[in-house]
A and B are shown apart, each in its own frame.
Chain A
Amino acid sequence: MPRSKKRYELTKCEAEVMDVVWERGTLTVNDVLEAIDRDLAYTTVMTTLRILETKKIVRRGKKVGRAYSYSARVSREQVREGMVKSLADQLFGGSVRSLVLNLLESDVVSAEDIEAVKKAAAKLGDK
């Protein structure tokens, strides 16, 4: 199987958070909340940073007080390159989503939605 170069892609919300991470270096969820000039829930930013960690775009560092610190693992240029390639894929037939039956209809689900589903799961417990 041919090895493909890792491609980083960000959604609008992730890009907004990453802008702050690249600007400040190392920060916590509260730092992101202060830097972004609009009302965002703490859990939304926390989930977004956790997703970025899963995508290997940020790394989780030591605890600062009760919160973890985060820093960038990849540069702005690496992400930009990946997103340009993704856009080209979308425009020239790269997304086969409409041909197959996916577990999730979209690659992009908001952090609030994920939180809401987790709350529903917690509410159901062992049901």
Chain B
Amino acid sequence: MDARLAFEVASTLCLHVTVVIAVAFMLQHWINDARWGCRLWTTCFISVIGLVAGALLLPHRRLFHFPIDMSRESLLSVAVWQSRIIAALAIIWVTGVAVSILRRCSLCVHLLRFLKLECYPLETASLLSQVGISAADYPTLSILTSKRIQGPFCWQLHRPLIVLPEFLVEDRNNDNTMLQHVLLHELEHLRTQHPIQHFLQGICSTLLWFHPLVWSAARDAGLTREYLCDEVAAKTAGKFGAYLRTLADVAERCGTVSCTEVSKSTLAFGNQPSALIRRSNRLVQLAEGDPPASGLRSIVAVSVLVLCAIAIQQVWLPTNAMASQRSRWSPWPTWTANALHQFDVNVRDFESFEDRVQMHELLYQDD
């Protein structure tokens, strides 16, 4: 992939990702359903990964040609500047991805050490039966406990596990309500494969670490996952009020943040209600019997998102001033072409040759 093709891919990929995530946001508000909201975000993250893979490995449509007719000097200067910009951006992007991967690896090691050294296992079947959950439905589940945490969490690499703070298990005083709520919430995370969605979200956040909409999508997907698990846990336990008390108790254990008041009249960043308040409001709405969105609307939303991803993949920014005017397709990226050549599949990848010829003509044009 030469510098100008890389510029074309990078700039257009940012546009594709922006459109797909923006559409996912709109559809999610439209369906107003936590379970389908989670599915929508999973579809969105898979679409984003697909768009990135397609852009790097496959040729793409060129429906539009470079819009401006330029002089030889201007063309040369655009080509040179594009090469410089893409080289600088590539260095920044690779650095960001490397830092993100290293950080995740380091956190993974830290987490594994924490699980090994700071947690001890509990009798899963007995604990589940104490809160009225059938252990047979979760044969591979491990439940651990630790003094070092105040909030529970779940994780899955090869086996699902739930880690509970010690106070949840020890300070029960013959009342299992809080423990039941927490376990129902975490089990719903595992049952609905949220760790996989979380992993896909991690891939998107690593590859597109610079993109603000990806951060927003990650936040919103996280909140939607919590909405779903809150809803299932509260409905299964049967009392929304009691579940909200559990949330407040766990939050109280987790501590407080700055109590600096932001003027409510401004539209400042951070002036949105916190995730906890939004979750609480939603549970109150559900308790008061808000009608759920129709299933048909949800299916339409997921279909629309997939179609939107396919449609936007056809639209590429005409940034390449030296792209061939005779073809509606870009050449194959060199690495894919080389791989296909190994299997005697001949594909068009003469951009590197064209590039050398065109640059030569620009630099040494006969007068």
Q: Which A residues lie at the B interface, using CB under 8 A?
A: 1-2, 4, 9, 11-14, 16, 39-40, 44, 47-48, 50-51, 54-55, 92-96, 98-114, 116-118, 120-127
> Is A1 a contact partner of B255 (Cβ separation < 8 A)?
no
Residues of B118-172 whose CB lies within 8 A of A: 118, 120, 148, 150-155, 163
B240 at the binding interface (Cβ < 8 Å): yes
Given A99-B107, A101-B195, residue A54 in contact with residue B253 (CB < 8 A): yes
Contact A107 B255 (CB under 8 A): yes
> Does any Cβ of A come within 8 Å of B276's Cβ?
yes
B257 lies within 8 A of chain A by Cβ: yes
A99-B104 CB under 8 A given contacts A40-B259, A127-B287: yes
Check if A108 sits within 8 Å of B253, measured CB to CB: no
Interface of B is mostly: helix
B276 & A117 in contact (Cβ 8 Å cutoff)? yes
For the complex of A and B, the 4 pairs showing the least CB-CB separation, nearest first, are A124-B241, A121-B244, A108-B257, A12-B258
Partner of A104, one of B106, B240, B251, B260: B251
Residues in A whose Cβ lies below 8 Å from that of B163 = 100
In the complex, which residues of chain A have a beta carbon less than 8 angstroms from the beta carbon of B154?
A: 100-101
- B160-191 at interface with A (beta carbon < 8 Å): 163, 182, 185-186, 189
Closest to B284 in A: A120
Known: A13-B259, A93-B110, A117-B280. A105 touches B248 (CB 8 A): no
Known: A96-B110, A103-B185, A126-B241. Is A117-B258 also a contact (CB below 8 A)?
no
- Contacting residue for B107 out of A1, A44, A93, A127, CB 8 A: A93
With A109-B254, A118-B245 already in contact, the answer to whether A127 and B151 are too (CB < 8 A) is: no
State how many angstroms separate the Cβ of A119 from the closest Cβ of chain B: 9
| Residue of A44, A114, A121 touching B241 (CB-CB under 8 A) | A121
Contacts of A121 in B (CB 8 A): 241-242, 244-245, 248
A110 touches B259 (CB 8 A): yes
Cβ–Cβ < 8 Å partners of B245 in chain A:
118, 121
Confirm or deny: B261 has a beta carbon within 8 angstroms of a beta carbon on chain A: yes
Size of the chain B interface, CB-CB below 8 angstroms: 61
Query: Of B150, B151, B255, which is within 8 A of A11 by CB?
Result: B255
For the A-B complex, the count of residue pairs with Cβ-Cβ distances under 8 Å equals: 167
* B-chain residues with CB within 8 Å of residue A54 when the two chains form the complex: 252-253
Instruction: Give complex CA distance A39, B239 in Å.
Output: 35
**How far apart are A7's CB and chain B's nearest CB, in angstroms?**
9
Partner-A contacts on B (CB < 8 A): 103-104, 106-108, 110-111, 114, 117-118, 120, 148, 150-155, 163, 182, 185-186, 189, 194-195, 198, 202, 222-223, 225-226, 239-242, 244-245, 247-248, 250-261, 274-277, 280-281, 283-284, 287-288
**B255 touching A96, Cβ below 8 Å:** no
Residues of B contacting A93 in the complex (Cβ-Cβ under 8 angstroms): 103, 106-107, 110
Residue numbers in A under 8 Å from B151 (CB-CB): 102-104, 107
Is B256 in contact with A2, judged by CB distance below 8 angstroms?
no
Cβ–Cβ < 8 Å partners of A99 in chain B: 104, 107-108, 111, 155, 202
Report the minimum CB–CB distance from A10 to chain B (whole Å): 8
